[in-house]
Amino acid sequence: MIVFARNLVVKDFWLKTFSLALAILIWLTVRFSISGETSTSPWLALLGHATDENIVSVPVHVPPGMSQNFSVDPPEVQVTLRGDPKIIKNLRTLDVRAQVDLTGIESANGLLRPVEIVLPQGVSYTHISPDEVEVRVSPKN
């Protein structure tokens, strides 16, 4: 009986260890796939490089010189940010910028334009709500 128990652990030890490690990696892959995680962050989290998500409200800026003639609706967008928790924690509202490109537009009430997000290095965005804003032309005085 003792020989059987010893052989159960010692015989093919490295092969059993490799099989266990492979099984754990497969299990982690399936677990993160089911939870909807698509980036490489689960593997970075295992190595100590976790990512964090944060949702912020950002005002939509109109290019300088055009702000007297144009306005946007809605004036703010919700941006879901992703990045290193240290960077996300120290992020200020001024570091995230939402803007609309209005070049070549002179009069177009109700025109939908995509929102562009400008972020500092090390931060990315995963979602913008809404991703388009309505451009309104103010009457000239």
Q: Which amino acid is at 101?
A: D
Give the integer Cα–Cα distance in Å for 39 and 83: 12
pLDDT in tens, 80-107: 888 877 888 888 878 888 888 777 666 6
Give the integer Cα–Cα distance in Å for 69 and 118: 23
In sequence order, the 6+-apart residues with CB closer than 8 A to the CB of 59 are 75, 76, 98
pLDDT in tens, 119-140: 888 788 888 888 888 887 766 6
Domains of the chain as residue ranges with CATH? 2-45 (no CATH), 51-137 (2.170.120.30)
In sequence order, the 6+-apart residues with CB closer than 8 A to the CB of 24 are none
Mean pLDDT (whole number) for 20-38: 80
What average pLDDT does the structure give for the chain? 77
